[in-house]
Amino acid sequence: MTDRIEFEGSGSYFVGVTTLGEEFFAISRKASMPAGSKSVGSQPEVRPDPGMDKTSAYSHSEPMCSIKMYPARNGDAFLISSRAPSSVAILIDGGYAATFDQHICDDLGRFAKAGRCLDLVIATHIDADHIAGLLAFFKKNGHATRPNVIGVRHVMHNSIRSLQANSVAGGKQDVSDRDILEEIRRRGYPKPKNKPFTPSEISVREGSSLAALLLGGGYCWNSKDGNMRVDSTGYPVHEINASSRVKVIGPAPARLEALCSWWIRELRRLGFIDKIGKSEKFDDAFEFLCAAKNFSAVAQPGNISYRMHKNRELADAYLPDDSLTNASSISLILEVNSIHLLFLADSWASDTEQALKSLKPSKAPLIFDAIKLSHHGSLRNTSPALLELIDSPRYLISSNGEQHDHPSIEVLKAIVDRPATFSRKLFFNYKTAASRELSAYSSRSKSQFEVHENQVDWIDIDPNNHYA
Ligand SMILES: [Zn+2]
Look at residue 422 in the predicted model and tell me its pLDDT: 94
Phi, psi (rounded to 5 degrees) for 137: -65, -55
Look at residue 164 in the predicted model and tell me its pLDDT: 79
The residue extents of the domains of the chain are 3-465
What average pLDDT does the chain have?
Answer: 82
Residue 408 pLDDT greater than 60, yes or no: yes
Look at residue 146 in the predicted model and tell me its pLDDT: 97
CA gap 143, 120 in Å, rounded: 16
Look at residue 173 in the predicted model and tell me its pLDDT: 57
- Identify the band that residue 234 occupies on the pLDDT scale cut at 50, 70 and 90: confident
* Ligand 1 geometric centre to CA of 37 (Å): 32
Residue 195: is it exposed, middle or buried by C-beta count within 10 angstroms (0-12/13-18/19+)? Answer: exposed
CB neighbourhood size of 316 (10 A)? 12
* Ligand 1 geometric centre to CA of 77 (Å): 10
* Ligand 1 geometric centre to CA of 375 (Å): 5
Structure confidence by residue, pLDDT tens digits, 178-200: 888 888 888 888 776 656 666 66
Look at residue 364 in the predicted model and tell me its pLDDT: 86
Q: Which of 247-251, 358-362, 422-426, 436-440 has the lowest mean pLDDT?
A: 358-362
Look at residue 403 in the predicted model and tell me its pLDDT: 74
CA gap 356, 389 in Å, rounded: 8
Look at residue 23 in the predicted model and tell me its pLDDT: 40
* Ligand 1 geometric centre to CA of 290 (Å): 13
Using a pLDDT cut of 90, give the percent of the chain over it: 60
* Ligand 1 geometric centre to CA of 346 (Å): 5
b/e code 85-103 from CB counts within 10 Å (16+ = b) = ebbbbbbbbbbbbbbbbbb
* Ligand 1 geometric centre to CA of 23 (Å): 31
**3 state DSSP class of 403:** coil
Phi, psi (rounded to 5 degrees) for 285: -60, -35
Look at residue 235 in the predicted model and tell me its pLDDT: 73
| Secondary structure (DSSP) of 11-63 | STT-----SSSTTS-EEEE-PPPPP-----S------S-GGG--GGG--TTS-
Residue 66 pLDDT greater than 90, yes or no: yes
- Identify the band that residue 27 occupies on the pLDDT scale cut at 50, 70 and 90: very low
* Ligand 1 geometric centre to CA of 295 (Å): 10
pTM: 0.85
In sequence order, the 6+-apart residues with CB closer than 8 A to the CB of 368 are 5, 333, 340, 341, 342, 390, 391, 392
Q: Which of 50-59, 356-365, 413-422 has the lowest mean pLDDT?
A: 50-59
* Ligand 1 geometric centre to CA of 111 (Å): 26
